[in-house]
Chain A
Amino acid sequence: MAISPSTQDVVLARLKGRRVDLKGVLFEALLLLALLLSLSILITLMADVLRGGLGVLTERGFGFLTAGLATFSADTAGVKQGIVGSMLTLVFVVLLAFPLGIGAAVYLEEYAPDTTFTRFINVNIRNLAGVPSIVYGLLGLALFVEVFRPLTGGTTAISGGLTLAVLVLPIVVITAAEALRAVPDSIREAGFGVGATRWEVVRSHVLPSAAPGILTGTVLSISRALGETAPLLLVGAITGYIATGGQSLVEQMRSSFTTLPTVVYSYARLPSQDFREVTSAAIIVLLAVILLVNAIAIVLRNRYERKW
């Protein structure tokens, strides 16, 4: 039986869908709206901060970066101690959290037998990553400021740096473990096949292959450490500022301290309009540093990302 033209039309119309899927279009529009709203928050935030702080930055230029903490006159307030303090605390993150974190990840991924103890360490690390940062501040206060006072000198850059190192350690472990897991077993087996020991395989094959992923994770943890404020408030960051008058590094480390985000916080607490602008300018500096670090991480990931 030949298909009549009208039947063909009906079938075609059915296949195309008789009407516009109005609910479907509406649904997609709502989803897009959620996404655009989230992005517009970011844009508004950036615009708000730039509008408030760009004036101060263009007017004073590098003067703002090299001026010290001042809570009475907005004209002389700067972020110098914040920058120095952030760099000093980051030293601990780089020297402690990175080797310990990568070492732990290598153990968990390459060495650890699948025992209850290993699984316990794994769960433990994931839970540590979810502990609120302010709780790490309490740990820092009890451990580094009080118990280890003879070593750290109390509320000093050493205590702050150690607290940050402990805080980002689980992040380093998790990202490094992920990068190691992405290295295919064939690489390891090739190494064992020619008689290499586990450490030789790890050193010469697994770590180099996982290096980009590990690096991305470490860079991201730096950006996390750069933005943390709450735990540092508990180990005393707000009270002091770093001596920046030509002391030795050790003296600086053992004096009271502040960091870039804590400087932002102390300026944000001052009510006058002038300090609103100073706060915005300090935020621009902080965001610039953090975005730069994040951009490095994204570039690293895109450039070296390898599909096996």
Chain B
Amino acid sequence: MTQAVLPPQIPIAEALKGDPSRRRRENFIRRLFLGAAAVSVLISAAIVLSLVGRAVTFITNVDLGALWTSGWFPRRGLFDIKTIVVGTLIVSLIAMVVAIPLGLGCAVYLSEYARPRVRRLLKPILEILAGIPSVVLGFFAITFISPQIVQRFFSGSSLFNMMAAGIGVGVLVTPLIASISEDAMRAVPASLREAAYGVGARKRTTTVKVVFPAAISGIVASIIVGVSRAIGETMVVAIAAGATGGSIFQLDPSQPGQTMTAAMTSLAIGSDQVKGGEFTFESLFFVGFLLFAITLALNIMSERFVRRVREKY
């Protein structure tokens, strides 16, 4: 053992601070990491700034009557907001009709019924489904879902229709709902299930009356995230819902329609710069801002629900 390293003239508090160069390095590195974390704030600011500026230009310059007409034809100066908002709602509604039963069914089975080995086998397969790019599902929607399912049950539907797009989006959202609500149900402590079994409840009763209510915040959160994802989904709708260029206002899901996201892609492609009537290019940012605001509100809502689960267990 060496003797105490401290030269006696340095007070201990000073010595404990350590080598100044080491401290400088430490501070420098901390600032570096802080900078990396601050980038996310910059990105958010950049998103809001890039959307708001042009959205405001659009809304203050466009003839307000053009926002409530018979359809969405941006290149002709007709920006009927209700066409694309209602189209988005129809597609999302169909998507949720597909995704909620499928996703929750998968979640309940995997969390409550599947044996560990079955679960280990099936879960990665669901993850693969979650990893399928949306372009691929869009193509699948026009080559399979539309001709084999939609047109079979609804004669007279067009090949490109909102229902096929909705089902395709639903398939994309299913693994998302399944994985979030499965996590929520697995977070329910085993003691609750055992208490139910202890008073003689059956598996189904335990699942439906004990586990499901205990996990309800997480399940609701998964559905809200699913809705937000369905509203923001682009490629499936852009490929399968038809209506490139524009669409009249209509509610029939067996016909082509336009959603906010699909309206944005069709505005953006075809030329290196969006051409057309006045403020057509700005309308892209206006729709983007609308989409951003809606999904942000939904995400904040689901965040609230998730936090409630975390506080409980």
Given the known inter-chain contacts A35-B122, A198-B26, please indicate yes or no for A130 contacting B41, CB distance below 8 A: no
Q: Of B38, B129, B234, which is in contact with the most chain A CB atoms at under 10 Å from its CB?
A: B234
Which residues of the other chain, B, contact A28 by a CB distance below 8 angstroms?
109, 113, 203-204
Known: A33-B105, A276-B143. A107 touches B33 (CB 8 A): yes
Chain A residues lying within 8 Å of B22, measured Cβ to Cβ, are 197
Given A103-B32, A230-B265, A268-B239, check contact A35 B105 (CB 8 Å).
yes
Interface bits B286-298 vs A (CB < 8 Å: 1, else 0): 0010011001101
A34 and B105 within 8 A (CB): yes
Interface assignment of A65: CB less than 8 Å from any CB of chain B: no
Of A38, A112, A233, A294, most B-chain CB atoms within 10 Å: A38
**A125 in the interface, Cβ–Cβ < 8 Å?**
yes
Task: Classify the secondary structure of B's interface with A.
Answer: helix
Q: A45-B136, A124-B41 are in contact. Are A34 and B261 (CB under 8 A)?
A: no
Interface residue? A49 (CB, 8 A) = yes
Interface string of B102-143 (1 = CB under 8 A from A): 111110111001000000001011111101111111111011
Query: Which of A1-9, A135-143, A186-194, A244-252 is found at the contact surface with chain B?
Result: A135-143
| Residue A111, interface by CB 8 Å | yes
Please state if B133 and A229 are interface contacts (CB–CB under 8 Å): yes
**Which A127-152 residues have C-beta < 8 A from chain B?**
127-128, 130-139, 141-143
Q: Mark A208-236, 1 if CB is under 8 A from B, else 0.
A: 00000000000000011011111001101
Q: Are A108 and B232 closer than 8 Å at their CB atoms?
A: no
Tell me which residues across on chain A come within 8 A of B292, comparing CB atoms.
131-132, 135
Q: How far is the CB of A307 from chain B (nearest CB, A)?
A: 15
Contact of A239 with B128 in the complex, beta carbons under 8 Å: no
Of the four ranges (under 10, 10 to 19, 20 to 34, 35 or more), the interface on chain B belongs to: 35 or more
A179 within 8 A of B: no
B128 near A38 with CB under 8 A, answer no
Q: Is the CB of A264 within 8 A of B139?
A: yes
A157 within 8 A of B: no
Contact string, A273-308, partner B, CB cutoff 8 A, digits 1/0? 000100110010011001100100010000000000
CA distance A142 to B50 in the complex (A): 6
A35 to B214, CA, bound (A): 22
Q: Chain A interface residue count: which class?
A: 35 or more
* A23, A111, A130, A227 — most chain B CB neighbours (10 Å): A130
Identify A131's interface contact among B102, B202, B295, CB under 8 A. B295
For B143, the chain A residues whose CB sits under 8 A away are 48, 52, 276
The verdict on A85 contacting chain B, using a C-beta distance below 8 Å, is no
Judged by a CB distance under 8 angstroms, whether A44 is at the interface is yes
Known A38-B129, A239-B271, A287-B132: A131·B296 in contact at CB below 8 Å: yes
CB-CB < 8 A to A100: which residues of B? 36, 39
Chain B CB count within 10 A is highest, among A107, A138, A198, A228, for: A138
**10 nearest A-B residue pairs (beta carbon):** A34-B105, A132-B232, A227-B133, A103-B36, A142-B50, A107-B33, A230-B234, A130-B299, A31-B109, A104-B37
